[in-house]
Chain A
Amino acid sequence: MKKLKKKLKKELKKELKKEHIGFLFSTLRNSHKIIGPKIEQGVVVLGEIDVHDIPAGYEDHQKGGSYRLVKGERPEIFSFSTGPDSFKRFLSPPVIEMFAFKSSRTGMAITVPERQGKPLAFIGVRACDLAALKLYDRVFLEGPEKDQRYASLRKDSLVIALDCSYPGDNCFCHAMGTGPSVTDGFDMGLAELNESFLVEAGTIAGQRLLDGLPLEEATEGDRKEKAERTERCRGMMKKSIRTDDLPRLIYRSLDHPRWMDIAERDLECGNCTQVCPTCFCNSRYDLVRLAGISPRSREVSGTRVRKWDSCFSRNFARVHGGNFRPSRRARYRQWMSHKLAYTVEQFGLPGCVGCGRCITWCPVGIDITEEMEALRDVR
């Protein structure tokens, strides 16, 4: 392993001219389904793309509860920041068929669907999403029982990460210590410069991909430019969050009056949990079609489905004869405490990666950074 790292280090940082970015796509296209940013309904979303789909030159203006995409002046290809989608949509899709079942009085047969399609290649994974991916790996691969489906999708996937040139208006990854530049956890890392991309390999698979590209040796100037851009991006971030007293602050504030205050604004739409790249909660249920039931022989057939769920759902913590979190206050507290405190204890990583999506996509603009600051106010 060490030897590999050394080898990779030696070949670290090559330069890919911007006009050659198409080569990356054409190399990948044969073996992978390429997932990256594109515009849909005025929003940068993730989906299967080609090189022309990247919304180069667009700028997104984000506020609490607001997102506007405009054609701007920025010269970069990746001139925009993160949209509502994160890569969790592809590794743990919103709805999954877990298995099909056919059961009768005397037996039960279960068939697990085969995975179809090419493996996935993710292009333009930002530092925040990379940190989220790391958490996802812990959740789905290191539990007492690993999620086979996630494991197989993840194993074959290729992660091409990207340094952010510009932060979104709600970003605070520098405060969470996750970005804005990518350091590890990717197969291939990109950093956009004026004329070119600085490329580095993080794994053997990334190195193999890198070997197939028309690269030039990176100069000292390039490296300096990368560092400057990272620094500039860091400096442009408007939001911040104090993390030195986490998770203690949350445990101390579980009875804080601020939760009531948030609950009065909160609509419980669950948007924050849908856009959060680390939210992983889900529910399973059986989907039975009328045709699948024959009462006389007691035969039932259907599929077992897993879908994203949210701790804001009213029935999320319901058990027979009661609900453990009947109030909105408790549900919001559950979400925020899980992000900022519980995940550290559960998985050793913070559950908030500082992407700011929950602020942008909250219809009433509840701002996790502000709310946390308010918790510090001991009344």
Chain B
Amino acid sequence: MYDRSMPFEATIKWIKKETRDTFTSALKISSREIQRAYRFIPGQFNMLYVPGIGDVPISISSSPLDHDLLHTVRVAGDVTTALSGLRAGDVIGMRGPFGRGWPLEEAEDLDLLIVAGGLGIAPLRSVARHILKTHAAKKRGVHPRRILLYGAKTPKDIVFRDEFPRYRDIVEVFLTVDRADPEEYWRGETGLVTKLFDRLSIDPLCTIAFVCGPEIMMQTSVRELILREVPEERIFLSLERNMNCGVGLCGHCFFGPKFVCKDGPVFRVSEIEGLMGIKEL
């Protein structure tokens, strides 16, 4: 194995602009050995490093079965701005993969409810891609339901918008926006993503939920799911914190006693039950 606290070289294969402030870049690890040793599961993240600027945690938005290793980034700070200025062929540093991903085996035979808000779609796209890739392989039995609820600010902010039609036969996709721009035609829902729960009838006995988005949206989603009697043990959240080292020795990402970088970022709600409502933890 390689040392994940030291960055290794990765080349940008291509960059795609997703929305006005979000882009996806495909990376290729330069070293053959690291490339071979590099294994990730959906929900894990990498630290992308622009030498001279710094590094930033970005979740992997492609599935391990996909050909390209994708990172979907919103331009927000120094490093992400620097990343957005790079071109195909440029070299950056990368460390990873870090953290605990989504429990895909547990979700295999259950109805999977994916709830995403904003850029929270990125680690969940990894799950959706994984479902698409593995769907055909499963021959026996009834396919469990796969539902994706996704809320963005405006129709322009919907990341991966062009992909959702392709999910249709396998994943039920529901989109909503907080507010539709008057100048843009929008046929979908308006309102918070949690409002979409009313449109579904889910069977709490065989439903598992993966949730990622702004903290307040995750809290509301958990409340809604518990109202619908989905047990806390089967609700998973992917948390966001300031991550600096990725391996649990810098202390920036504490969520109460949890290191989000190594214990998370994906947590079972029952694990963090007492901590969720507490302000500024």
Taking Cβ atoms with an 8 Å cutoff, the residues of A that contact B are 99, 101-108, 110, 112, 139-140, 143-145, 147-148, 251, 254-255, 280-286, 288, 292-293, 300, 302, 309, 311, 316-321, 324-327, 329-330, 334, 337-338, 341-343, 345-346
Contacts and interface: CB of A to CB of B under 8 A. Distances in A.
Interface in B240-281: 240-242, 244-252, 254, 256-257, 259, 262, 274, 278-281
Which of the four size classes fits the interface of chain B?
A: 35 or more
The binding surface of chain B is classed by DSSP as loop
Contacts of B249: 139-140, 143, 147, 280, 282
B248 A143 contact: yes
A292 to B, nearest CB: 8
A94 B240 CA distance: 27
A108 B94 CA distance: 11
Given A144-B247, A338-B254, A255 B76 contact: no
Interface stretch (B1-9, B125-133, B137-145, B221-229): B1-9
A255 B278 CA distance: 8
A311 B244 CA distance: 13
A112 B9 CA distance: 15
Contacts of B252: 281, 283, 309, 316-317
A300 B248 CA distance: 28
A281 B251 contact: yes
Contacts of A324: 241-242, 280-281
Given A144-B247, A144-B248, A319 B241 contact: yes
B260 to A, nearest CB: 10
A193 B53 CA distance: 56
B280 A101 contact: no
B54 interface: yes
16 contacts: A145-B3, A147-B249, A282-B244, A284-B54, A284-B250, A286-B51, A286-B53, A302-B52, A309-B251, A311-B254, A324-B241, A330-B279, A330-B280, A338-B254, A342-B254, A345-B257
Interface stretch (B84-92, B155-163, B176-184): B84-92
A280 B51 contact: no
A108 B254 contact: no
A251 B274 contact: yes
Nearest to B259: A346
Contacts of A148: 3, 5
Contact of A283 (B53, B74, B241, B244): B244
Interface string B1-44: 00111110100000000000000000000000000000000000
A338 B6 CA distance: 27
Contacts of A318: 242
A326 B3 CA distance: 34
B231 interface: no
Nearest to B263: A346
Contacts of B74: 320
Contacts of A319: 240-242
Which among B5, B55, B241, B274 has the highest number of chain A CB atoms within 10 Å? B5
A103 B52 contact: yes
A112 B7 CA distance: 11
A286 B82 CA distance: 14
A51 B251 CA distance: 37
Which among A147, A324, A337 has the highest number of chain B CB atoms within 10 Å? A324
B251 A106 contact: no
A144 B95 CA distance: 13
Given A103-B93, A255-B278, 18 more contacts: A101-B52, A101-B93, A102-B51, A106-B89, A110-B7, A147-B5, A254-B278, A280-B249, A283-B252, A284-B54, A286-B53, A292-B52, A302-B52, A316-B252, A320-B74, A320-B76, A325-B280, A334-B254
